[in-house]
């Protein structure tokens, strides 16, 4: 790389790093100045500089400063619209628990007819998400292949983040799509296109990468970055997946072995984090972020214009300024939650059923009191990602995006302990979550292993609904479980009480449609190995 290009690369990397750390380090004025400089650099060099060669310049990994900036670039790549908003659109849509007003107010709009009804098609959202996830993998590959690990703890940590994020990204890809290309090397003329690798091989790579992350991540990056506990939690999730999938198990490793392996990883995290006192505070940018409950949290800044999540999830006149209110939670999910735990304080923190308009204070009732004259008026909105400040007018916001948090880890430990017969332990973990919610354990939790198993799966819906893992939790016990406990639980209500066919989605019951997302059309069209 030419010296001039090296200087440009260095500057861009530094600005990416500053952008990522801004909320924790710099004040708003300095942030805006840095952002302006970043924009100038990008626009004045865009004709000569693609972003990926920045990360491929091996010289930047010799210096701790520039290597750390490249690490930040890995995370920065996940905070834009294509990587984040489209991920949540697909991940939440493909759950059987959400619907959307995007593209129209009725169940007949394109997105409700396809993705939200569990009949996904290859579309632009899918292409963009696929591209961004593989771009993240490319940046991880650059860090993994170029960083020399050894005595420098900072460089070890950079490599560790590369391994962790490659494992996390492939774990996301394989659960959504199944067989995907496995790309672990730097790009070259010989690996521009790769054939699909079997799911089993992808999981082998994920496990290897997660273990490397455990060895190398040391916390030197500081606040706002995931640490080894994130790798521990990821590996526990992977083993839980393998425990319930006969086709993915390695020879000689039993289901109980996988549950024990999951326990061994999850218990490493226990006690190293804690729950915040108020559930709603987790999803309010006006409250402290990067809390003790956060295990993996993406850093978002309004000044960086890197998230429109608030705009997309905020309903009509809940705030001033731009709001789309695209996402509603199925009324069936809300009704089931309320019926199960009537006094659960998570209900008010998760669903929006009524509010006072930000412009005139008038009351808006959406569910269940408003006339159900179209889809948007038939279901509660999703509150977690909605703007909490009524006077906020910008379409961009400051709310960080929590990927992993301690409450889910506690539910995982409760589920794993149930499978292993650790009856005293499982209630200890579960009750920590329920105590914060202000509810007592359901009777099912005392009625044996199978009843506990079914109840804990509901608990994931109540606690981490909409946070990016629902599509997985709803499916990881197989199609029949998903059919019984999510699809038919909803579909069987259609035609009863206020559930009507032109207001409520009918979810597909076809296994071939509901278990995986179609591969990206962009990948199919450009990859010579995929028919």
Higher-confidence residue: 221 or 392?
221
Rounded to the nearest integer, the mean pLDDT of the chain is 88
Look at residue 180 and tell me if it is in a domain.
no
Domain boundary among 46, 70, 94: 70
Q: Tell me the pLDDT band of 303, cut-offs 50, 70 and 90.
A: confident
For residue 370, the model assigns a pLDDT of 72
Query: Percent of the chain at pLDDT above 70?
Result: 90
Asked if residue 64 has pLDDT above 80, the reply is: yes
Q: 407, 433 in Cβ contact below 8 A?
A: yes
Look at residue 182 and tell me if it is in a domain.
no
pLDDT in tens, 488-522: 999 999 999 889 888 899 999 999 999 999 999 99
Asked if residue 354 has pLDDT above 50, the reply is: yes
Higher-confidence residue: 54 or 528?
528
Q: How far apart are the first and last CA of the chain?
A: 37
For residue 380, the model assigns a pLDDT of 95
DSSP conformation letters of 123-183: -HHHHHHHHHHHHHHHHHHHHHHH---SS-HHHHHHHHHHHHHHHHHHHHHHHHHSSEE--
Look at residue 334 and tell me if it is in a domain.
yes
Distance CA 201, CA 2 (A): 39
Distance CA 531, CA 505 (A): 32
Domain boundary among 397, 424, 459: 397
Answer positive or negative: Cα dihedral of 514, 520, 524, 525: positive
* Number of domains making up the chain: 2
Asked if residue 23 has pLDDT above 70, the reply is: no
Asked if residue 133 has pLDDT above 70, the reply is: yes
Number of CB atoms found within 10 A of residue 3's CB? 7
Least confident interval from 142-151, 152-161, 235-244, 365-374: 365-374
Average pLDDT of span 303-315: 85
Look at residue 48 and tell me if it is in a domain.
yes
For residue 53, the model assigns a pLDDT of 62
Q: Which of 353, 359, 325, 364 is nearest to 105 (CA)?
A: 325
The tokens for 70 are 């490249």
Tell me the residue length of the chain: 531
Q: Tell me the pLDDT band of 188, cut-offs 50, 70 and 90.
A: confident
Domain boundary among 15, 46, 70: 70
pLDDT in tens, 426-442: 999 999 999 999 999 99
Look at residue 21 and tell me if it is in a domain.
yes
Distance CA 65, CA 277 (A): 37
Look at residue 128 and tell me if it is in a domain.
no
Q: Which range of residues forms the domain containing residue 17?
A: 1-70
Q: Report the 3 state secondary structure along 179-219.
A: CEECCCCCCCCCCCCCCEECHHHHHHHHHHHHHHHHHHCCC
Average pLDDT of span 236-246: 96
Asked if residue 22 has pLDDT above 60, the reply is: no
∠ Cα 138 142 145 (to 5°): 125
Higher-confidence residue: 44 or 279?
279
For residue 310, the model assigns a pLDDT of 84
Look at residue 338 and tell me if it is in a domain.
yes
- pTM greater than 0.75: yes
Distance CA 289, CA 303 (A): 17
Look at residue 110 and tell me if it is in a domain.
no
For residue 304, the model assigns a pLDDT of 81
């Amino acid at each position: 790389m030419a010296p001039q290009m090296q200087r440009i690369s260095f500057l861009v990397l530094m600005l990416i790093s500053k952008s990522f750390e801004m909320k924790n380090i710099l004040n708003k004025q300095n942030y805006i100045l840095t952002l302006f400089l970043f924009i100038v650099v990008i626009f004045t060099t865009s004709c000569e500089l693609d972003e990926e060669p920045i990360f491929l310049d091996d010289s930047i990994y010799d210096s701790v400063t520039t290597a750390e900036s490249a690490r930040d670039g890995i995370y920065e790549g996940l905070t834009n619209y294509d990587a984040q908003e489209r991920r949540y659109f697909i991940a939440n849509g493909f759950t059987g628990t959400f619907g959307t007003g995007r593209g129209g107010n009725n169940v007949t709009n394109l997105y409700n007819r396809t993705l939200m009804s569990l009949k996904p098609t290859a579309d632009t959202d899918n292409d963009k998400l696929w591209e961004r996830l593989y771009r993240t993998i490319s940046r991880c590959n650059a860090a993994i292949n170029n960083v020399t690990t050894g005595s420098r703890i900072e460089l070890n940590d950079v490599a560790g983040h590369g391994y962790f994020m490659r494992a996390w990204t492939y774990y996301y890809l394989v659960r959504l799509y199944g067989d995907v290309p496995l790309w672990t090397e730097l790009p070259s003329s010989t690996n521009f296109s790769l054939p699909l690798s079997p799911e089993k091989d992808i999981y082998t790579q994920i496990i290897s990468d997660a273990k490397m992350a455990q060895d190398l991540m040391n916390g030197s990056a500081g606040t706002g970055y995931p640490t080894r506990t994130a790798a521990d939690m990821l590996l526990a999730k992977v083993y839980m997946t393998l425990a319930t999938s006969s086709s993915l198990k390695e020879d000689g490793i039993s289901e109980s072995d996988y549950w024990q392996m999951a326990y061994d990883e999850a218990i490493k995290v226990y006690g190293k984090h804690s729950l915040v006192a108020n559930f709603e505070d987790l999803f309010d940018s006006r409250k402290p972020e990067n809390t003790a409950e956060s295990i993996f949290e993406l850093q978002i800044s309004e000044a960086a214009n890197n998230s429109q999540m608030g705009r997309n999830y905020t309903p009509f006149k809940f705030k001033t300024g731009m709001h789309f209110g695209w996402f509603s939670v199925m009324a069936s999910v809300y009704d089931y939650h309320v019926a199960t735990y009537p006094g659960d304080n998570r209900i008010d923190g998760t669903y929006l059923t009524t509010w006072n308009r930000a412009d005139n204070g008038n009351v808006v009732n959406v569910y269940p009191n408003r006339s159900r004259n179209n889809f948007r008026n038939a279901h509660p909105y999703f509150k977690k990602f909605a703007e909490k400040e009524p006077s906020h007018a910008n379409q961009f916001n400051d709310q960080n995006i929590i990927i992993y948090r301690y409450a889910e880890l506690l539910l995982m430990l409760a589920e794993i302990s149930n499978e292993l017969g650790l009856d005293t332990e499982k209630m200890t973990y579960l009750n920590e979550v329920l105590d914060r919610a202000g509810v007592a354990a359901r009777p099912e939790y005392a009625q044996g292993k199978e009843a506990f198993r079914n109840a804990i799966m509901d608990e994931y819906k109540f606690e981490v609904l909409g946070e990016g893992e629902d599509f997985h939790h709803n499916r990881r016990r197989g199609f029949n479980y998903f059919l019984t406990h999510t699809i038919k639980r909803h579909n069987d209500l259609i035609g009863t009480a206020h559930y009507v066919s032109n207001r409520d989605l009918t979810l597909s019951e076809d296994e071939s449609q509901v278990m995986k997302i179609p591969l990206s059309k962009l990948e199919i069209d450009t990859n010579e190995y995929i028919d």
